[in-house]
Chain A
């Protein structure tokens, strides 16, 4: 037996093990007007729990000299925060951000890197994952760890959230994930938590190749109703134009679209294209709020696959109620007014 060979093999394994010492959980943060975004705070809380289970540190990443947000990251669970600075890291641009973060990951060797599943996270995470030929779990609604494997357990949506799948990569490191904003519980801040904020500077980052020309305010062709996530529907019971206007405003606030029943079409409140049902469109939104709609079968056929149906109708025996996740016996206009007021109040 060739001992040398065996030894070199074992030595080689040790070296590989030393090289493979990926550890710590990193959170790439986002900042809005008042500091860290709520999703970033929640992500830090989750990272803290997982780091405790694995016995490692949580490290936060921010772009730019954001000391205040850096301290905030510590209060939510980070042990160290890196503020990445350099030419090109002022306003967001994909290439310099990816390059700076890739270098930081190369030197710091985290085992898990977490982003919010926002446009910001969605631009960076796939490129970084590709660079390290690493797994990326997107739009996770929950995260956990398999302590034996030291692997991330990622719960990802399938078929647009009809169900979820738990994925794991036993061997590939680092592991990347983006987490859907708003799904993790809000953590507590401990302003007395101890940690350090470090400035890291990169000076030779590649320039951005995509130029942002600005917002695009004019009306885009509206996406078809069939693809709307949120639909506010008016029926005859919404009463008048004013009621329709309140519904339209609610739809806007919720990032959705206005639609209606045959009753509303007959009243001239909506157009043909906005009619939902057998004679109109079939939709499958996450949320459908029906205001003053009776619940005629021809209408209900168009919304059979709605995820969450809320119905507002003055008649407690209205046909629509048995289909609804929540039925509200009340005047549609009054409830719409109250909803708009509550949402305008910034809740």
Chain B
């Protein structure tokens, strides 16, 4: 089995603070990590590899620093890594990014499985999975939490509006792994060294994949940011339990928590 895993490198959200009152975003610590859901996708691929043998190829579209994300994937157990990186790809929008990733995956063909994260924690795009499935003509299973091979088919437990259901699909297929799926293992020390010393990351440019700069120009623009009101703390009320329950529910509704 040949499995392609799409791995996006993002700025660690823990290193970013949002000051709502000043309406500013502060990057305190510019650390780049593998998007958490993609780490779960890598783990799912590696479990299939452990159980049945597979060739796992990690694929990333990003700046040159995404090399680190791919080395980490190699250290975790991926067999190959491909970085799509090019100045022409800076600021790429979601529709075009999916087209570029799809063409790269076609170039890696034949892949039995394409695994991606359900959603990228920075942009919360939540769409690359479905886009890739459509562009590659594959069936899709989204929000997957566990996958196992059952004969010719994959059995997947997925979440549907938060509730688990079991589905089956025959490869080739695209599966989007939920960030709630089992998290990734820790890389073996020796593999980390290997990933830097002995294993290689192939770099493909936009031109290698047959794209012109014109085709990659972004078509989606930002019109600025909106900040939710700052929290007001320390509001204390007192009363009968039923009345207090009513106040709590009112706050939950107002904050759209129920």
A interface residues, Cβ below 8 angstroms from B: 94-95, 98, 118-119, 122-131, 133-136, 138-139, 153, 155-172, 182-183, 208-216, 220-221, 223-224, 227, 230, 254-255, 286-287, 289, 307-308, 310, 312, 316, 321-331, 334-335, 337-339, 341-343, 347
Majority secondary structure of chain B interface residues (helix, strand, loop or mixed): mixed
Do A214 and B180 touch (CB < 8 A)? Answer: no
Also in contact, A163 and B165, with CB within 8 A (given A135-B95, A182-B256, A328-B248): no
Answer whether residue B70 sits at the interface, using C-beta atoms and an 8 A cutoff.
no
Q: How far is the CA of A119 from the CA of B242 in the complex (A)?
A: 35
Q: How far is the CA of A166 from the CA of B224 in the complex (A)?
A: 6
* Contact partners of B134 in chain A: CB under 8 A: 98, 126-128, 130-131
Answer whether residue B1 sits at the interface, using C-beta atoms and an 8 A cutoff.
no
Do A163 and B225 touch (CB < 8 A)? Answer: yes
Q: How far is the CA of A286 from the CA of B228 in the complex (A)?
A: 14
* Contact partners of B123 in chain A: CB under 8 A: 158
Which among B219, B220, B234 has the greatest number of chain A C-beta atoms within 10 A? Answer: B220
Answer whether residue B237 sits at the interface, using C-beta atoms and an 8 A cutoff.
yes
Q: How far, in Å, is B254 (CB) from chain A's closest CB?
A: 10
A and B contact pairs by CB, cutoff 8 A, 27 listed = A94-B139, A119-B159, A123-B140, A123-B142, A127-B131, A127-B140, A133-B99, A134-B95, A158-B123, A158-B124, A159-B122, A165-B225, A166-B222, A166-B224, A168-B220, A215-B165, A216-B157, A224-B183, A289-B248, A308-B252, A323-B233, A324-B236, A326-B247, A326-B248, A327-B237, A328-B244, A339-B245
- Chain B 131-171, CB-CB to A under 8 Å as 1, else 0, gives 11111000111110110000000010101111111111110
* Contact partners of A134 in chain B: CB under 8 A: 95
* Contact partners of A124 in chain B: CB under 8 A: 130
B interface residues, Cβ below 8 angstroms from A: 13, 16, 18, 20, 25, 93-95, 98-99, 121-135, 139-143, 145-146, 155, 157, 159-170, 173, 179-180, 182-183, 219-228, 231-242, 244-249, 251-252, 255-258
Q: How far is the CA of A210 from the CA of B222 in the complex (A)?
A: 37
* Contact partners of A128 in chain B: CB under 8 A: 134
Q: How many A-B residue pairs have CB under 8 A?
A: 246
Give A144's nearest chain B residue, CB to CB: B223
Do A327 and B130 touch (CB < 8 A)? Answer: no
Q: How far is the CA of A129 from the CA of B128 in the complex (A)?
A: 10
Do A119 and B234 touch (CB < 8 A)? Answer: no
Q: How far is the CA of A214 from the CA of B167 in the complex (A)?
A: 7
Give B128's nearest chain A residue, CB to CB: A126
